[in-house]
Amino acid sequence: MVDTAFRKHKLASRLCGELCKIFLSEKLFATTRVDNYQMQSILKKNYFIEIGEQYPNKDNSGFLKLFIKKN
């Protein structure tokens, strides 16, 4: 998650891309809110695929999706 003060600078996209390069041979996963379409787009551009069904977050205030990185 990018700190509020640094959002809207495309840092999440850059961070995700760089982390994928660093951990190229590792099995990676990510979770994001079902309504966070920007993060879902970033994950898909970095070859993550959505798996399973959405599930409630820790405090039951929303739902999450699980993504895994295709190798």
Asked whether residue 69 carries a pLDDT value surpassing 80, the answer given is: yes
Helix, coil or strand: residue 61: coil
CA distance linking residue 42 with residue 58, whole number of Å: 23
**pTM for this one?**
0.87
Residue 47 CA neighbour count, 13 Å, CB half: 10
| Residue of 47 and 6 predicted with greater confidence | 47
Could you tell me the residue ranges of all domains in the chain?
4-69
* Amino acid 63: pLDDT: 98
Amino acid identity of residue 47, one-letter, is Y
Write the pLDDT tens digit of every residue in 21-62: 999 999 999 999 999 999 999 999 999 999 999 999 999 999
Sheet of 48-56, strand order: 29-33, 63-69, 48-56
1: confidence class by pLDDT, cuts 50, 70, 90: confident
Q: What is the CATH number of domain 4-69?
A: 3.40.630.30
Amino acid at 1: M
